[in-house]
Amino acid sequence: MTFATLGLIEPLLRALEALGYQTPTPVQAQAIPAVLAGRDLMAAAQTGTGKTAGFAVPLLQLLTMEGPKVTANSVRALILCPTRELAEQVHASVAEYAEHLPLTTYAVYGGVSINPQMMKLRKGVDILVATPGRLIDLFRQNALKLNQLQTLVLDEADRMLDLGFSEELANIYRMLPKKRQTLLFSATFSDDIRLLAGQMLNDPLSIEVSPRNVAANTVKQWVVPVDKKRKAELFVHLMRKGKWKQVLVFAKTRNGVDALVDKLQGLGINADGIHGDKPQATRQRALDRFKASDVQILVATDVAARGLDIEDLPMVVNFDLPIVAEDYIHRIGRTGRAGNTGEAISLVCADEVNMLSAIEMLTRQTLTRKMEQDFEPEHRVPDTDASGQVVKKPKKPKKPKTSGGGGKRNLGKWVESGEVAAEPSIKPVRKVPVFNTGPRKKK
C-alpha cells in the first residue's frame, strides 16, 4: 500500500515523500480513508504509531478541497492536545505536511503571553492546535470563534482526562457547532474515555493498532532493585558503566527532577530538566537542546514529557516508577520507535513494589530484574509477577540445619520477560446523556 492508493492529493504526497514516509503505518492506512470519507473516528493509538499524520494529512486534504475560506478570528479545524510540548510538536508536523497547501496553521497554549496569539488569530487560521485551558481563555476574550469549525481532533484524550481537563473539555464541547467531524485518539480506553466518546462522536469508526505490542517488542525492559536513597548514585554508576549517550529520565515529582538535575550537574554531567513549574520557553529550550544532543540527560516529569517524539532515542530510565501504570507504557514508548530498538530501565525501591506489580499486570509480563553489584538493596523489593500478586514474604525453602547457604542475602529473582499481550479490543461506544466532568475514577 502507498499513500497514493489512499487517495491523497499531489501536494500532500510530495510533502510526505520529502519527509521520507514511504508506506502508511497501520493507523494511517485505517484512519486516512475514514477521515477523507467524513467519518468520526475513535482510534486506540499512541505516539510512535504515526497517528499525527493519520489525522492531520486527511484533515489537510479535506480543508483544501472542501469548505469556505476561513473568516476573521475563526478556525476550520481544531486539534486539542494535553501539553504545550505536544501542541508544539503536533503543530510542527502539521506545518510540514501542509507545506505545499494554501492553508494556515498555528499553535496556542498557556505559559506564554496571550496577546501575540490574539493578534495572530485575527485573520483566522485553518488549523489551530491548542491546549484546552488557553483555548477557552481565547474564546472568552472573543479572540476566537468556533462557528466555522469543520473538524475537531482530541489528541491523547486519555491524558487530557488524566491531567484534569474534563471540565475544560465539557466547556469546549458547549462551544462547538453541532455539525462537525470529530476524531478521538487515545492510548487507552477507560470508561471515562468511552463516556467522552459517547458524547462527542457520531457513529465513530473504531481503529486499534495494538500500541502496547509496538512498544514492547522493540524495547528491552528491565528493573534494577535499589534502596531509595541510593537511586541517584546507581543512576550515575549505570550511566558511566553503560557509557550512556542520550537518556530521557522520568522522575515522579518536580522536586525530584530538580534534585536529580542538580546532582548530575554537580558531577559535571550535562543534564537539564523539564517540568510543569518551569516557564514554557525554558522547557522548550531544554527539549530542543536534548533533541540536538547538546544535553545528554533530560530529566522530566510525565506531564512535561508526554507524547514527545525524539528521533532515535536509545534509552529511557524510570528513576521513579509512575503512579499511574499506563504512564509506564507511554514512557517506554519514547524509545524503540519507528522500528529502532531501545532500552527502558526502571530503578525500583521497596516502596514502589505495588506500582511495579500494577505495571506488570497491565503489560502482562514479569519484568526481568537485574541486581547491580554493590547496590543490592537493604530493603528488599518483594517478588512480583504479571498476576498482580506481591509476594511480601517469600516462602523460604525448609533448610536443613547445617552450615552453608544460611546468612546469604536474597538478591532478588531473575525472571525472563514474557510477550506482551495485545491491548483489549475497543468496546462499543455508549451514548450517555450527561457529560462526565468528574476527575478520573471519581464516578
To the nearest whole angstrom, how small is the minimum distance from the Cβ of residue 56 to ligand AMP? Answer: 8
Count of positions (residues) in the chain: 443
Nearer to ligand AMP, 2 or 71 (CB): 2
Give the interface segment with ligand AMP, choosing from 44-52, 113-121, 175-183, 325-333 (CB under 6 A): 44-52
Query: Site for ligand AMP (CB under 6 A): which residue of 12, 24, 87, 168?
Result: 24
**Helix, coil or strand: residue 107:** strand
Nearer to ligand AMP, 56 or 347 (CB): 56
To the nearest whole angstrom, how small is the minimum distance from the Cβ of residue 60 to ligand AMP? Answer: 14
Q: CB under 8 Å, gap of 24 or more: what pairs does 425-434 form? A: 425/208, 426/42, 426/44, 426/189, 426/206, 426/208, 427/189, 427/194, 428/206, 429/42, 429/194, 429/197, 429/198, 429/201, 429/204, 429/206, 430/194, 430/195, 430/198, 431/198, 432/195, 432/198, 432/199
Nearer to ligand AMP, 23 or 402 (CB): 23
153, 185 Cβ separation under 8 angstroms: yes
- 381-410: b (≥16 Cβ within 10 Å) or e: bbbbbbeeebeeeeeeeeeeeeeeeeeeee
Nearer to ligand AMP, 187 or 347 (CB): 187
Query: Site for ligand AMP (CB under 6 A): which residue of 15, 48, 216, 334?
Result: 48
Nearer to ligand AMP, 53 or 121 (CB): 53
* Site mask for ligand AMP (CB under 6 A), range 290-319, x = bound: -------------------x----------
To the nearest whole angstrom, how small is the minimum distance from the Cβ of residue 356 to ligand AMP? Answer: 27
To the nearest whole angstrom, how small is the minimum distance from the Cβ of residue 82 to ligand AMP? Answer: 14
To the nearest whole angstrom, how small is the minimum distance from the Cβ of residue 329 to ligand AMP? Answer: 14
Q: Is 365 left (phi over 0), alpha (psi -120 to 50) or beta?
A: beta
Residue 47 sits in the site that holds ligand AMP (CB under 6 A): yes
Nearer to ligand AMP, 302 or 309 (CB): 309
110, 283 Cβ separation under 8 angstroms: no
To the nearest whole angstrom, how small is the minimum distance from the Cβ of residue 215 to ligand AMP? Answer: 11
Residue 127: φ, ψ to 5°: -125, 120
Cell of 55: 489525522
To the nearest whole angstrom, how small is the minimum distance from the Cβ of residue 154 to ligand AMP? Answer: 15
Burial label, 3 (beta-carbon count in 10 A; 0-12, 13-18, 19+):
buried
To the nearest whole angstrom, how small is the minimum distance from the Cβ of residue 48 to ligand AMP? Answer: 5
Query: Site for ligand AMP (CB under 6 A): which residue of 31, 44, 50, 136?
Result: 50
Size, binding site for ligand AMP by CB under 6 A = 13
Residue 249 sits in the site that holds ligand AMP (CB under 6 A): no
Burial label, 266 (beta-carbon count in 10 A; 0-12, 13-18, 19+):
exposed
* Site mask for ligand AMP (CB under 6 A), range 142-171, x = bound: ------------------------------
Nearer to ligand AMP, 28 or 363 (CB): 28
Amino acid code (one letter) for 97: Y
Residue 354: φ, ψ to 5°: -70, -35
Give the interface segment with ligand AMP, choosing from 43-51, 73-81, 146-154, 201-209 (CB under 6 A): 43-51
To the nearest whole angstrom, how small is the minimum distance from the Cβ of residue 129 to ligand AMP? Answer: 13
Nearer to ligand AMP, 8 or 53 (CB): 53
Tell me how far apart the alpha carbons of residues 218 and 344 are, in angstroms, rounded to a whole number. Answer: 10
* β partners of residue 354: none
Residue 218 sits in the site that holds ligand AMP (CB under 6 A): no
Stretch 52-111 residues interacting with ligand AMP (CB under 6 A): 52-53
59, 223 Cβ separation under 8 angstroms: no
Tell me how far apart the alpha carbons of residues 311 and 336 are, in angstroms, rounded to a whole number. Answer: 10
Query: Site for ligand AMP (CB under 6 A): which residue of 4, 37, 338, 411?
Result: 338
Strands (DSSP E) contained in 17-102 are 41-44, 75-80
As a 3-state breakdown, the chain gives helix, strand, coil percent values, each rounded to 5, of: 40, 15, 45
Residue 51 sits in the site that holds ligand AMP (CB under 6 A): yes
To the nearest whole angstrom, how small is the minimum distance from the Cβ of residue 28 to ligand AMP? Answer: 6
CA distances from 101 to 33, 69, 98, 116, 255 (A): 19, 13, 5, 24, 45
To the nearest whole angstrom, how small is the minimum distance from the Cβ of residue 151 to ligand AMP? Answer: 17
Give the footprint of ligand AMP on this chain (CB under 6 A). 21, 24-25, 28, 47-53, 309, 338
